[in-house]
């Protein structure tokens, strides 16, 4: 039976489900989920990501992490971790870019938090020289100082969605009609976690319940050393319906054939900042600004010198795609956690 059929049967038996329950099934159902069943990345897949666009993305983040490690006195044991590493491209680029940093590779052990068996297999191949460990949850990461990256991970965490109605909040639900799965709206109820959104009646806001424990577990480790960099698309105090389904690089109805399309929601960076204690948190900055500050243009020029023709054009296009405001540069944002009393990592410091 299709996942849509299974979910319809479940809704008929037990009633409508929240969007978070629906997203969790669509993405991570053990045999029919989107991430559990395939490799959706890259030009031939459903969507592409910054590390798949260019090695420069991982190189810049790698140098940022290694510089942070040096600035913090080069501790001799440190966890280098990634959440949702996909094909392992970002981590591979981080490791390659930091090979020349004396002592760094001796100090790190590589840890990957990944739900998808297919992606775990791809990561094992890609990172076989580095003997990575895999974890189901951020809670399982070692307690040592932590250098962590997560690109387009938080946007895959299931969200709940509500519309403001009077003093309450009416939740978006997934129900079933004769025509199949359909959206419905629950009765307005109090949701104190949303009351800082001072919005007009009818405005939609989203909440990612899984984000708080993820950020909390990372923050507890980073507070004692290291840094954590989150890059994703989103805003500060996001509002509106941001749930998006994408199949073969085109938007589709989120309820159409769940498990066969990517399903994401914009990340509310304010929610990251609110969950960041006991770590300190940087301001949210645009991806383009971060990469420029970390030196991506000089790196692109250096790489371009060795190329010509179509390869050179592809490099220039990739640089533009990552940093230009009309491409990913403004839409994607970054934020970093760091130990209280230490400077923000390179690129996140406004005076840098």
User: What is the contact surface with ligand SAH in residues (CB under 6 A)?
Assistant: 27, 35, 41, 49, 51-52, 84-86, 90, 113-116, 119, 151-153, 156
Tell me whether residue 72 or residue 264 sits nearer to ligand SAH (CB atom). Answer: 264
- Smallest gap from residue 328 Cβ to ligand SAH (A): 11
Tell me whether residue 119 or residue 269 sits nearer to ligand SAH (CB atom). Answer: 119
- Smallest gap from residue 295 Cβ to ligand SAH (A): 20
Tell me whether residue 251 or residue 340 sits nearer to ligand SAH (CB atom). Answer: 251
Name the nearest CA neighbour of 204 among 163, 234, 148, 246: 163
- Smallest gap from residue 151 Cβ to ligand SAH (A): 4
Tell me whether residue 237 or residue 249 sits nearer to ligand SAH (CB atom). Answer: 249
Token readout for 179 is 């025509």
Distances (CA, A) of 295 to 331, 338, 352: 20, 21, 11
- Smallest gap from residue 186 Cβ to ligand SAH (A): 25
Q: How many CA atoms lie within 13 A of 207 on its CB side?
A: 21
Contacts of 150 (CB under 8 A, 6+ apart): 82, 83, 84, 228, 229, 230, 231, 232
**DSSP type of residue 47:** B
Contacts of 88 (CB under 8 A, 6+ apart): 112, 119, 122, 123, 125, 126, 127
Residue closest to ligand SAH when measured from CB atoms:
84
- Smallest gap from residue 158 Cβ to ligand SAH (A): 8
Tell me whether residue 114 or residue 171 sits nearer to ligand SAH (CB atom). Answer: 114
Region of residue 100 (left: phi > 0; alpha: psi -120 to 50; beta: else): alpha
């Amino acid at each position: 039976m299709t996942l849509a059929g299974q979910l319809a049967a479940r809704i008929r038996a037990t009633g409508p489900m929240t969007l978070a329950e629906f997203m969790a099934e669509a993405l991570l159902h053990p045999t029919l989920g989107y991430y559990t069943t395939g490799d959706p990345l890259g030009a031939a897949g459903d969507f592409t990501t910054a590390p798949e666009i260019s090695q420069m993305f991982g190189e810049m983040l790698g140098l940022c992490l290694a510089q942070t490690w040096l600035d913090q006195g080069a501790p001799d044991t440190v966890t280098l971790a990634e959440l949702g590493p996909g094909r392992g491209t970002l981590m591979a680029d981080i490791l390659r870019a930091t090979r020349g940093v004396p002592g760094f590779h001796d100090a790190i052990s590589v840890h990957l938090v990944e739900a998808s068996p297919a992606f775990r297999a791809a990561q094992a191949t890609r990172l076989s020289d580095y003997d990575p460990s895999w974890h189901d949850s951020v809670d399982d990461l070692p307690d040592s100082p932590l250098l962590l990256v997560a690109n387009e991970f938080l946007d895959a965490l299931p969200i709940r969605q509500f519309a403001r109605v009077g003093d309450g909040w009416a939740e978006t639900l997934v129900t079933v009609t004769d025509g199949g799965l359909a959206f419905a709206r629950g009765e307005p109820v109090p949701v104190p976690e949303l009351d800082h959104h001072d919005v007009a009646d009818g405005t939609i806001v989203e909440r990612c319940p899984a984000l708080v424990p993820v950020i909390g577990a990372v923050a507890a480790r980073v507070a004692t050393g290291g840094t954590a960099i989150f890059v994703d698309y989103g805003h500060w105090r996001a509002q509106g319906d941001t749930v998006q389904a994408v199949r073969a690089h085109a938007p589709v109805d989120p309820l159409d054939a769940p498990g066969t399309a990517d399903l994401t929601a914009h990340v509310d960076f304010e929610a990251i900042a609110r969950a960041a204690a006991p770590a300190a948190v940087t301001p949210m900055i645009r991806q383009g600004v971060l990469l420029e500050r970390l030196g991506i243009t000089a790196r692109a020029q250096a790489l371009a010198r060795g190329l010509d023709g179509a390869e050179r054009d592809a490099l220039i296009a990739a640089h533009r795609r990552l940093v230009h405001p009309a491409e990913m540069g403004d839409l994607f944002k970054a934020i970093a956690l760091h130990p209280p009393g230490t400077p923000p990592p390179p690129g996140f410091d406004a005076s840098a």
